[in-house]
Amino acid sequence: MTDNSTIPSKSIVSITVFTVLSLTLYILIGYFTPRTNTFPLLSYWSILFVAYFYIISKQTTTRQLSLLIFAGIVFRCSFLWSIPALSDDYYRFIWDGQVWASGINPFGYLPSELSTHTTFVNEHSIELFNGLNSRYYYSVYPPIMQYIFRLAAIVSPNSILGSVIALRSIILLSEIGTLLLIKRLLRHWNLNPTLILIYVLNPLVIIELTGNLHFEAVVIFFLLWSVYLLNKNKLLTSAFVLALSICTKMIPLLFLPLLIKKLSLKKFTIYTLVTLATSVLLFFPFIDEQLLSNLGTSIALYFRHFEFNASIFYLIREIGYITQGYDVIQTAGAALPIIFVAIYLFVIIKNKVANTHRFAELSLLILFLYHSLALVVHPWYLSTLVVLSLFT
C-alpha cells in the first residue's frame, strides 16, 4: 500500500465500477433471485468473485483502502431488508426466540412437540413451523445465539421480516467491530493493512454471514476481540470474551488449549477457569435434566447421519462403496472425530506458542484440520478460516 492520497483517475474508475457492479449483484441476489434459479445465481457469484480478485490484486493507497472498506460495509447493509434467499435456517432462529420468549426452554422440546402446544400455537408460530427444516431436531444453538434470538422475538414478536432485520442488525454491528479489530491486529503484528480487503470484500463472507444470516459473524467478532485483549495482556477480560465466542458457536473451544503453551500454568489455569465459569453462567438459564440428553441426541445426529461438503469423508465413503457396498457414515462418522483429536493433540504438543500471532496461525491450522475431517462443512463455516488467514 502506498501513502499517496491522490487517487489516479484509472483507480477511481476501477473502484467505482467495482462498487456499482458488486452492489447491483448483491441486491439482485438478496431481493430478486430465488435459490432455485441456479444459472443466474452461479453467474452472479462468478462475476462477484472475478471482480473481488481483480480489486484485491491492485496496489492500494491509504484513501483507496478506506473507500473499499466503506464499500464492503455498504454491500453488507444492502441486505438489511431482505429475507435470506439461500438459507432457511432463520426460521429456526426466530422459532427458538419465540419459544424462549413464551417462557419455554428452547432446548427442552422438539418443534414438532410444540406445534400443538396450546400456550404457544398462534398464526405466527404456525408460519414459522411450516418454514422449519429441523422440526424433529432439538435446538443446538448455544446461549449467546439464544439471547440474540430472544431479543429479536421481543423486538418483533409477530413479523418474520422484523425479526430478520433485528438479527441482521446484530450481525452488521459484529462485522463492523470485526473490521476495527482486524485493522488493529494487522497494525500490531506489522502486517500489510490491505490484507483486510480479503475479508471485507469477500463475496462468500458478505452473502453467507450478512445475506443469509449466519452467526459466524458474532463468533469471529468475539474471537478477534479476545485475541486483541490477549495482545494487551488483559487476560481476565480476554477469557471472558472468549467464553462469549464459545457460547455463540462451540468451535473456538478448540483454540483454548493452545494457550497452555503461551501462558504460565497458573495464568492458563485462571484463564481456563474464567472461560469455563462464564460459559456455565451463560448456559445457566437453560440447564435442566433434559439439556444434556437433548443436546447429545442432536450432536449424535450431526456426526452420524448428516453429511454435506465433506472432503476426506467423501473419499472414505467411495472406498466404502467399493469395498463394503454401502455408505460407511455410521462407522466413519465415529472414527473421524477420533482421528482429528489425535492430530489435534499432536499439533498442540509439538508447537510452541510464543505470542498471540502464533496463536492465530495455529488456530487457523486446527480449524482447517477440523473442517477437513468434518462430515458437514457449510459454506459459512469457511468465514472463520478466511479471517484467520489474514494473520499468517
Q: What is d(CA 211, CA 25) in angstroms, rounded to the nearest whole number? A: 12
Percentage of the chain exceeding pLDDT 90: 76
pLDDT band, residue 11 (cuts 50/70/90): confident
pLDDT at 9 over 60: no
* Per-residue pLDDT, 302: 66
Q: Indicate whether 81 pLDDT > 70.
A: yes
Average pLDDT of every residue of the chain: 92
Phi, psi (deg, nearest 5) at residue 98: -65, -40
pLDDT in tens, 236-284: 999 999 999 999 999 999 999 999 999 999 999 999 999 999 999 999 9
pTM of the entire structure? 0.94
Residue 330 near residue 354, CB atoms below 8 Å: no
Q: Which residues contact 380 (CB under 8 A, 6 or more apart)?
A: 204, 208, 209, 212, 214, 216
Exposure of 303 by Cβ count < 10 A (0-12 exposed, 13-18 middle, 19+ buried)?
A: middle
pLDDT tens digits for 181-204? 999 999 999 999 999 999 999 999
What are 273-290's pLDDT values in tens digits? 999 999 999 999 998 877
Choose between 1 and 106: higher pLDDT: 106
pLDDT-derived band at 303 (thresholds 50, 70, 90) equals low
DSSP annotation string for 85-152: SS--THHHHHHHHHHHHTT--TTTS-HHHHTT-TTT-SHHHHHHHHH-S-TTS-----HHHHHHHHHH
- pLDDT per residue as tens digits for the range 288-297: 877 777 877 7
When pLDDT is cut at 50, 70 and 90, the band that residue 317 belongs to is confident
Residue 324 is classified by DSSP as: T
- Decide if pLDDT at 20 tops 70: yes
Name the residue with cell 472461560.
275
The answer to whether the beta carbons of residues 261 and 353 sit under 8 Å apart is yes
Collapsing DSSP to helix, strand or coil, 41 comes out as helix
In the predicted model, is pLDDT for residue 87 greater than 80? yes
Residue 122 pLDDT level (bands cut at 50, 70, 90): confident
pLDDT tens per residue across span 39-56: 999 999 999 999 999 999
CA distance 86 to 362: 32
- Kindly state the cell numbers that stand for 160: 418474520
SS3 per-residue string spanning 252-293:
HHHHHHHHHHCCCHHHHHHHHHHHHHHHHHHHHHHCCCCHHH
The three cell numbers of residue 387 are 479471517
Residues counted in the chain? 392
Q: CA–CA distance from 155 to each of 73, 149, 165, 177, 260 (Å)?
A: 24, 10, 10, 22, 42
Range from 97-106, 166-175, 275-284, 289-298 carrying the lowest mean pLDDT = 289-298
pLDDT at position 323 is 76
pLDDT of res. 149:
98
| Tally of CB atoms within 10 A around 11 | 17
Q: What is the pLDDT of residue 1?
A: 54
pLDDT score for 304: 63
Do 85 and 40 touch, CB atoms closer than 8 A? no
| Cα 101 versus chain centre, distance | 24
With 0-12 CB in 10 A as exposed, 13-18 as middle and 19+ as buried, what is 45?
middle
Confidence of residue 8 (pLDDT cuts 50, 70, 90): low
